[in-house]
Each structure stands twice: as structure tokens, then as C-alpha cells.
């Protein structure tokens, strides 16, 4: 099976996780499907891509090793029952909580945008998940891990201020355009631009959703570390396949709740899910592929640099998500100098965090 052969390759694989998971968030903004419908389709296609990738990259004919996902799972099921329960239970918890995380992540992104949501939700999870993962697998230099996590948390605090400032900027621009429309009703150029409309969630609603989502995200690092820990460790392809399988298996009831009671927008029905058009399903298809790429990057990188470092480093998706928000989705089109300054401080804090984490490998 394919796997990195040194720490440098492990770091590169983990950076692949950053870009894969960050790009997934763009799929949310590329579909007109309600978040609940998108969530169900995403869970399904995550498993499909993860399984196909495991059969190809995790096969015995793929260099540099001759182990495969299937032989790894076969070894697991020959282990004592308590070990089987521990490994399967860990991947179930990781997959189930990640499935719940996506509900809160999708709802928050739909209601507040990428730049306001991702740093807050993922950043909070990183602070707690990093140390829980370190307790499970002590493969990191604390003198570098702790500053790395602290700078990550600083980025979360700064991002909260950025969100508040950006909301005021958007509200002020919308009010100015509305006033201009009233004064010049025949002037076509004065119509409000959709990108300047204020966010749909209040600050406190967003914070509450992100805190709950962060709690769900906290389990990913320590649970995958348990699954990948000796004896009878699961290889990266087994971890990715099992977590995505359990996510898909448990998704429908929670997707249905999200469909009927969305955070923003109109409710949807099962009929809407069944009769969804392909153009609305396709973002979930390529979004699932991005998730699979990111998850394989995390699992492959963690096998070389340790799960604690890989977890925090892979949670640096706010850095990439903010770049997408700025250059692709133009969320900062009406941002003031103060908002730009805060956003720059957030990105700088994340960059410093990454430097410390790269130095934390043992």
C-alpha cells in the first residue's frame, strides 16, 4: 500500500489534509440544495470515495509496502474481543461525531459564510482535541505543541472580532444601498449586490452553533489515535474507510432533522432529497472526494509525525478557508480597514501556529 516513508512526506500529506478539508467547505456554497439534503449526499459520497481510494492506494500491489487494508482488517478481527471492540468503537465515535460536526458546519457556513465559521468552529475544537490526542499518543514536543495550540486559539479569538466587524460592514453597506435605492428608484446601478447582504445568523447564534460543532470535532483526533495505536493498529486506509462507513450508516436520521429544521432557509422533505437534480448533487460528489483526500492526508501523515501534531496541523483549514473567502467568494468585498487588519492578524497567528507544529515532531 502507498504510505509516506519519512517525516517530511508525512508533513506534506498532512498539508494535503488542510487543502482537502478546506476545499470541501466550498462545496457548501456551490449548491442550492438545503443543508440537510447536501449533508446526506455528502456522507454517502465520502464513503464511496474513501472505499475506492482504499481499494486502490491501500492495495497490496501498491508500493512501498505489501500490507493492504483488507489484510489489516483481517488481522484486527483475529485479535482479542476487547481489542476489536476498542478499535471499532473508536472509529465509530470518530465517524459519528464527524457526521454530526458536518451538520453544524454546513448550517453555520450557510448562514454566516466560510470566513466567519471555519476558524471559530475548527479552532475551538483544536484546542481541546490536541491535548486529548496527546494523552492517547505522546508523540510531540510539548515546548512546541503548546505554543502552536495557543497561537491557534489566538486566531480563534481574533476571528470572532473579525466576524463582528465584518457583519457591521455588511450591514452598513446594505443600509447605504437601500437608502440610495429609495432616493434613486430608477437608477439600475444602485441595486444592492447579493454579496453585500448581511449574514443570516446573529453573532450569538453563530457562536452557539460553532461551540456545539467544536465539541463534536474534538473527538476526531483522540479516537483516530486510539484506532491507529499499537497493538493491532489500524492502517490509514482502514481508519478512513471505517470512519466514513459509520458516518454514512448513521447519517439519515440526523440529515432528516436538519432537512425539517434547518438553521437557515426553508424546510425540505424526503421527496426533495429523492428528486434532487444532478447539478445540486454534484457538489456533494466532489465535496466527498475532497473529504476523502483530506482524510487520507491526515491518516497517512499521522502515521509518521504523530496524531497530535497531524490533528492540529490538519485543523489549520481556517487559513485556506479564509483565502477562499477573500479571493473566491469575495466575502470581504465591503470590509473596512479594521476588518482587514483583524483578518490579517488571524492569518498571521495561524501561520505562526503551523511553524511551531512543524517543530514539535519527535
Q: Is residue 26 part of a domain?
A: yes
Q: Is residue 18 part of a domain?
A: yes
Count how many domains the chain has.
1
- Grid coordinates belonging to 281: 448533487
Q: Is residue 312 part of a domain?
A: yes
Q: Is residue 313 part of a domain?
A: yes
List, as one string, the DSSP characters of 193-256: PGGGSPPSS-HHHHHHHHHHHHHHHTTHHHHHHHHTSSSSPPPHHHHHHHHHHHHHHTHHHHHH
pLDDT of residue 189: 46
pLDDT of residue 185: 58
Per-residue pLDDT of the chain (362 residues; tens, 9 = 90+): 999 999 999 999 999 999 999 888 788 778 888 999 999 999 999 999 999 999 999 999 898 887 899 999 999 999 999 999 999 999 999 999 999 999 988 888 777 766 667 767 777 788 889 999 999 999 899 999 999 999 988 887 887 788 778 878 888 776 676 666 666 655 544 444 444 434 577 778 888 888 898 999 999 999 999 999 999 999 999 999 999 999 999 999 999 999 999 988 889 999 999 999 998 899 999 999 999 999 999 999 999 999 999 998 888 887 787 788 788 878 788 899 999 999 899 889 988 988 898 899 87
pLDDT of residue 177: 66
Q: Is residue 213 part of a domain?
A: yes
- Grid coordinates belonging to 340: 482587514
CA-CA-CA-CA torsion sign (310, 311, 313, 315): positive
Q: How many CB atoms lie within 10 A of CB 176?
A: 14
pLDDT of residue 178: 65
* Angle (CA) 302 246 234, round 5°: 35
Q: Is residue 322 part of a domain?
A: yes
- Grid coordinates belonging to 15: 498539508
| Domain residue limits at 20 | 7-182+191-358
* Angle (CA) 34 38 43, round 5°: 155
Residues 144 and 147: their CA atoms lie apart, in Å, by 6
Q: Is residue 1 part of a domain?
A: no
Residues 315 and 14: their CA atoms lie apart, in Å, by 10
Q: Is residue 178 a contact partner of residue 191, using CB atoms and an 8 Å limit? A: no
Q: pTM for the full model?
A: 0.86
Q: Is residue 2 part of a domain?
A: no
Amino acid at each position: 500500500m502507498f504510505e509516506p516513508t519519512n517525516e517530511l512526506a508525512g508533513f506534506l500529506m498532512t498539508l494535503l489534509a488542510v487543502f482537502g478539508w478546506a476545499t470541501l467547505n466550498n462545496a457548501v456554497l456551490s449548491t442550492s440544495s438545503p443543508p440537510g439534503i447536501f449533508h446526506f449526499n455528502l456522507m454517502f459520497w465520502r464513503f464511496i470515495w474513501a472505499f475506492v481510494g482504499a481499494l486502490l492506494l491501500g492495495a497490496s500491489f501498491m508500493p512501498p509496502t505489501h500490507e493492504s487494508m483488507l489484510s489489516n482488517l483481517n488481522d484486527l478481527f483475529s485479535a482479542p474481543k476487547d481489542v476489536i471492540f476498542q478499535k471499532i468503537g473508536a472509529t465509530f465515535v470518530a465517524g459519528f461525531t464527524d457526521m454530526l460536526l458536518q451538520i453544524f458546519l454546513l448550517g453555520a457556513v450557510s448562514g454566516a459564510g466560510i470566513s466567519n465559521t471555519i476558524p471559530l468552529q475548527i479552532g475551538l475544537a483544536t484546542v481541546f482535541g490536541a491535548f486529548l490526542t496527546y494523552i492517547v499518543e505522546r508523540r510531540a514536543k510539548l515546548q512546541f505543541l503548546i505554543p502552536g495550540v495557543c497561537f491557534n486559539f489566538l486566531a480563534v479569538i481574533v476571528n470572532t472580532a473579525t466576524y463582528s466587524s465584518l457583519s457591521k460592514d455588511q450591514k452598513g453597506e446594505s443600509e447605504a444601498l437601500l437608502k440610495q435605492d429609495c432616493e434613486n428608484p430608477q437608477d439600475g446601478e444602485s441595486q444592492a449586490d447579493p454579496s453585500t447582504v448581511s449574514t443570516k445568523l446573529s453573532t450569538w447564534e453563530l457562536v452557539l452553533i460553532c461551540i456545539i460543532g467544536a465539541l463534536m470535532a474534538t473527538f476526531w483526533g483522540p479516537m483516530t489515535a486510539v484506532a491507529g495505536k499499537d497493538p493491532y493498529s489500524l492502517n490509514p486506509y482502514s481508519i478512513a474507510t471505517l470512519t466514513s462507513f459509520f458516518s454514512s450508516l448513521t447519517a439519515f436520521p440526523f440529515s432528516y432533522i436538519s432537512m425539517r429544521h434547518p438553521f437557515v432557509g426553508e424546510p425540505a422533505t424526503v421527496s426533495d432529497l429523492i428528486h434532487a437534480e444532478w447539478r445540486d448533487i454534484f457538489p456533494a460528489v466532489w465535496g466527498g472526494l475532497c473529504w476523502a483526500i483530506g482524510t487520507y492526508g491526515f491518516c497517512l501523515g499521522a502515521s509518521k509525525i504523530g496524531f497530535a501534531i497531524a490533528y492540529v496541523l490538519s485543523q489549520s483549514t481556517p487559513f485556506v478557508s479564509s483565502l477562499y473567502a477573500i479571493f473566491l467568494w469575495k466575502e470581504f468585498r465591503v470590509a473596512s480597514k479594521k476588518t482587514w487588519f483583524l483578518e490579517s492578524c488571524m492569518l498571521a497567528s495561524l501561520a505562526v501556529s503551523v511553524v511551531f507544529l512543524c517543530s514539535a515532531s519527535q
